[in-house]
Structure 1
């Protein structure tokens, strides 16, 4: 069954944003070499998976994500039609959209923190699922969604579906929110501290914060993903850091706690 154009936008927009943003950050990483957390040589030497495999795996996740989103929108359409028939379709007010954004951010953050931490604390889940993502010791932009397919399904797709269900966002609102969340995920993994980056001014959970988690000694801290650091602080998994000049000439995120659990 064909979907209305707004729902097609909601399905495709985050995928398009992912690859466009990844391309932009890749170019910025070349132009702003002094602002990289990892040199291009480190990306080749330290990471445990070839970039062609990363691209292929992310494309597979996007196909699965689009297929599930298609099914979800088909299921929700009849409910929405019934509601529109009773009240008349209307464009959500700005205040409603802002509220939906905030609630969706909290829901998605809580969901991803819980699952992310579980995937580290469970040896079975880490070895067979989450360890895929940590093959990227030196993260880069288009590896943001390099995950085991099961992890992509649970953390990203199911988490997004939950946020959508809780907030009741209209398709275009969902398109805007998930595009923003995707952009944030790409930025978190970009490995580039772009000067004046508004995402870094708005969120303490940023590129350097998440880079600490990807470090070999950081796998038991800074689990929070996307927006807030509150869950890490509440649950005792928060580790502060400082950004210093690195031997490769760029930058480095250095944890301020000397002993991190491994």
Structure 2
């Protein structure tokens, strides 16, 4: 039982620690002007919320997320305890990761899109996240608490339950999902970023969604662009070198769906 509790606690708190460590890494790289998607001036002028408020909002969401995770692990503990000493093989883990990724993407796409199309939900809930017109790393989870509960916490619980992963595997999955989400909001287009190699849903793709012209597009998060493609909300982009350094993300006007 001690090992089970350990895995459950790690599955609850490691992703939170990873969030701040990975965000801190991007804060240190924020001076890389040649790779920024927006200038520092744009970040200061366009964003409608202070960084202190963002930190408080993220910590509140993570507190709620941790409480729900502890409850979820407690409720499902009996189902997982017997399997703790049996290590799943690599293919099983890959399958669980893929299922969890698809479940999380599907849940977040439809909930996210609905929050944009329902005027009441957008005005009173989802607009809080869009106060960050120029996203940055540690603002990735800056949401209204109700949105954080619906999109992230419930979405994470569903991906955990439907994939059949153990608390131990969930440590790695949710840490990976956290890193991906932070990366999508980091505002930097760094060379050699492996997420750009394996995922079309990346920093620039999500940046389009935070801009006025892309507000009704690119709802998919955090992994694939599947649902945007299928349901016609996919907006491609081009990157242009900006005078003075960095890049500008522009909607592509000549893109044709394969």
TM-score using structure 1 length: 0.93
Question: How far 1:247 moved relative to its partner?
Answer: 4.1
Q: Is the aligned partner of 1:67 residue 2:67?
A: yes
2:23 equivalent in structure 1: 22
Q: Do the aligned residues in 2 keep the contact of 1:213 with 1:219 (CA within 8 Å)?
A: yes
Q: How many residues are paired up?
A: 253
Q: Do the aligned residues in 2 keep the contact of 1:109 with 1:227 (CA within 8 Å)?
A: yes
Q: Is the aligned partner of 1:245 residue 2:241?
A: yes
Matched position secondary structure for 2:239: strand
Q: Distance in 1 between matches of 2:79 and 2:14?
A: 23
Specify every segment of 5 or more residues in structure 2 that has no aligned partner in the other structure, as ranges. Answer: none
Moved over 6 A (4+): none
Question: How far 1:144 moved relative to its partner?
Answer: 0.3
1:232 equivalent in structure 2: 228
Q: Do the aligned residues in 2 keep the contact of 1:39 with 1:248 (CA within 8 Å)?
A: no
Question: How far 1:246 moved relative to its partner?
Answer: 2.2
Q: Deviations over 1:57-107 (max 9, x none)?
A: 0001111111110011010112223xx2xx784111111101000000000
Q: Do the aligned residues in 2 keep the contact of 1:117 with 1:223 (CA within 8 Å)?
A: yes
Q: Is the aligned partner of 1:108 residue 2:109?
A: no
Matched position secondary structure for 2:216: coil
- Root-mean-square deviation (CA, aligned residues, Å) is 1.6
Q: Deviations over 1:96-153 (max 9, x none)?
A: 1010000000000000000010000000110011000000000000000000000000
Question: How far 1:230 moved relative to its partner?
Answer: 1.1
2:14 equivalent in structure 1: 13
Matched position secondary structure for 1:252: strand
Q: Distance in 1 between matches of 2:164 and 2:225?
A: 25
Q: Is the aligned partner of 1:36 residue 2:36?
A: yes
1:58 equivalent in structure 2: 58
Q: Do the aligned residues in 2 keep the contact of 1:111 with 1:159 (CA within 8 Å)?
A: yes
Matched position secondary structure for 2:240: strand
2:46 equivalent in structure 1: 46
1:96 equivalent in structure 2: 92
Question: How far 1:44 moved relative to its partner?
Answer: 1.1
Q: Do the aligned residues in 2 keep the contact of 1:239 with 1:257 (CA within 8 Å)?
A: no
- Which deviates further from its counterpart, 182-191 or 242-251? 242-251
Matched position secondary structure for 1:242: strand
Residues 202/170 of structure 1: CA separation in 2 closer, same or farther (3 Å cut): same
